[in-house]
Amino acid sequence: MKIFNMSKPCFLTANEAIELIKQRKLSRYEWVQSCLERIEERENLTKAWTYLDIEGSLNQAKKLDDLNNDKFGIPIGAKDIIDVSNMPTQMGTSFYKDNIPKRDAASIAISKDAGCIIIGKTVTTELGHRHPGPTTNPHNPEYTPGGSSSGSAAAVADFMTPICFGTQTTGSIIRPAAYCGVIGYKPTYGDFDKSGILPNSPSLDTLGLIARSIDDIQMMRNILLEEKIKIYESIDLKKFKFAFVRTPYWEEHNDECTKTELEKFIYELTKLKYNILEENLDDLILRSSEIHTNLSGFEFKRSIAADRINHFEKLSEILRYGRLTDGNKMSLQTYRKLQGQLEENRLKIEKRLNKYDCIITPSAPGEALKGLEFTGSPMFNTTWTLTGMPAITLPIFKSKNNLPIGCQIVSRRGNDEVLLGIGKKLIKIFNQNEK
């Protein structure tokens, strides 16, 4: 993405804009204003936002300009299941219009404290499940942006903000980011705190980030962790072992374009003498899917008890007869057993992948689906969420319809910094090959 050439600040990544602010070539106010103008220009079509605090955001930017310290006023959007004080948390429903928290989610408080400006709340599917919101894909409004972090992916892809918060319980960051052609990052389970975020399936729920550059993800990761963690600027990919995992869905569910592009990419990497082996995890991936359905069903049914009990009639059919039905089939005893099976399955996967530093696998089955009714399948994400392994989607392929297709890379739990470094390098290699 050659966005540096574009004229307006909204097209910059956060790191690029911060560099200009440091050089006094851009003010925080101009940056935020440019994002808000972009939203004004595009929101009618993209519909990424459920709430915007225009005046408040500009005022904060002005204040930070006056202070002129290392708080750079990074404009950020938060998925609307994350509490931001004095903005409604509607969670993709019709019945929480006046649900205005007084307390920021931990991630929000930490970001604000580091000089981020939360300009508004982005569209989520209903309660973070499957029923879609109005958001369209910025690359073509006839296509879904994916979900559940629909608005976050679309807003970043449409240059409305450089960074948004998303959450993932199955494939809710990686898939929309892939469909919208941006970078989606689901960290190791537990790396980012979840206080103040609607729980879906607490054993799996992961707060993550969507951005247009790995640098921005690395910066936000350090902000959220409140510590300076080593950032891998340049990595020698020859030192790492890669597994190419097609998954059992490759033949039947993947479209031709994803197959071709991904295989071509693997071939290029092999030519460059990178250490890549194909690894078949079909049995464990299928088992993951089974475990995930039942476990997340049970936990989801409980997490959203207030909504199903007090607002049942206002919930979508897909929710009532989807995950809620999965949950109703389960008992505490089955759930307990399942937790043991999850652990067993995770250990098996970790053992099989032990010799690799990084897995390369599809982000989603092909390009975004046409129509806004379905946000697509998370089949290529389930295993990595269930095991708590960190995952990124890199926006490096295009479909025949000129829609983005992502390449997902995954690593061991706790290996996020290396994964981000690998991702940065892979994007560079791909862009060089493209030239």
Stretch that binds its own copies, among 25-33, 40-48, 98-106, 251-259 (CB under 8 A): 98-106
Q: In what order do the strands lie in the sheet with 183-186?
A: 49-52, 116-122, 74-79, 163-168, 206-211, 183-186, 391-398, 404-410, 358-362, 241-244, 275-278
Give the nearest distance from C-beta 190 to its own copies in angstroms: 8
The mark string for 64-93 relative to its own copies (x by CB under 8 A, - otherwise) is: ---------------------x--------
203 is catalytic: no
| Interatomic CA distance for residues 379 and 362, integer angstroms | 10
Name the minimum Å distance from CB 269 to its own copies.
Answer: 29
Instruction: Based on the shown chain and the rule CB under 8 A, indicate whether residue 24 belongs to the binding site for its own copies.
Output: no
Does position 278 bind its own copies by CB under 8 A? no
- Select 310 or 354, whichever has its Cβ closest to its own copies: 310
For residues 25 to 54, the per-residue mask of contacts with its own copies, x marking binding by CB under 8 A and - elsewhere, is: ------------------------------
Virtual CA dihedral for 42, 43, 47, 53, nearest 10 degrees?
140
Q: Which stretch binds its own copies (CB under 8 A): 148-156, 174-182, 186-194, 317-325?
A: 186-194
Block residue for tokens 């729920």: 205
Q: Give me the least distance between CB of 110 and its own copies, in Å please.
A: 5
Site for its own copies in 397-426 (CB under 8 A): 414
The binding track of 205-244 with respect to its own copies, each residue x by CB under 8 A or -, is --------------------x-x-x---------------
- Kindly tell me which of 25 and 103 has the beta carbon lying closer to its own copies: 103
316 counts as catalytic: no
Give the one residue of 30, 104, 215, 326 binding its own copies; rule: CB under 8 A. Answer: 104
In contact, 73 and 59? CB cutoff 8 Å: no
Contact between 126 and its own copies per CB under 8 A = no
- How far, in Å, CA of 282 to CA of 363, rounded? 16
- C-beta closer to its own copies: residue 272 or 305: 305
Which residue lies nearer to its own copies by CB, 8 or 413? 413
Strands 275-278 and 163-168, by their bridges, are unpaired
- Whichever of 96 and 249 has its CB closer to its own copies, that residue is 96
Chain centroid to Cα 293, Å, comes to: 20
Based on the residue annotation, tell me whether 303 is a catalytic residue of this protein. Answer: no
Any contact of residue 325 with its own copies (CB under 8 A)? no
For its own copies, the closer of residues 165 and 179 by Cβ is: 165
Binding mask 288-307 for its own copies (x = CB under 8 A): -----------x--xxxxxx
* Annotated catalytic residue, options 47, 71, 79, 186: 79
Q: Which is the catalytic residue, given 34, 111, 148, 288?
A: 148
Active site residues: 79, 148, 172
Residues that bind its own copies (CB under 8 A): 85, 96, 98-99, 101-110, 112-113, 190-191, 193-196, 198-199, 202, 225, 227, 229, 299, 302-307, 309-310, 331-332, 336, 339, 414
